Amino acid sequence: MMKLIDKGMRFAKEMTVLDFAMLKFCMFSIGVIVALLLPESVKQIVLGIAIFVFVITYFPLMVKFFKTK
């Protein structure tokens, strides 16, 4: 597992902004596909989890971004 993480870190250091944008669109698309395939009974639960994860990840990233000079 550590080899995979190390390889990912090396790859991330070589990525451009365009590469990161493509990765984000890829991850967004897979999220939409999974969401569309979910049964109605669990969509609200998954939505709540997604909102929670967004909030706890977005705000620390924005704080770090605005502190960057």
pLDDT tens-digit series, residues 57-68: 999 999 998 998
Q: Are residues 3 and 26 in the same domain?
A: yes
Q: Are residues 30 and 51 in the same domain?
A: no
Residue-range definition of the domain harbouring residue 8: 1-37
Q: What is the mean pLDDT of residues 39-52?
A: 94
Residue 56 has pLDDT above 90, yes or no: yes
pLDDT tens-digit series, residues 7-42: 999 999 999 999 999 999 999 999 999 999 999 999
| Interacting residues of 50 by C-beta distance below 8 A, sequence separation 6+ | 31
Q: Are residues 1 and 12 in the same domain?
A: yes
Three-state SS sequence of 5-53: HHHHHHHHHHCCHHHHHHHHHHHHHHHHHHHHHCCHHHHHHHHHHHHHH
Q: Are residues 10 and 30 in the same domain?
A: yes
CA distance 57 to 9: 19
Q: Are residues 33 and 9 in the same domain?
A: yes
Q: Count how many domains the chain has.
A: 2
* pTM, full prediction: 0.70
Phi-psi region of 68 (alpha: psi -120 to 50; beta: other; left: phi over 0): beta
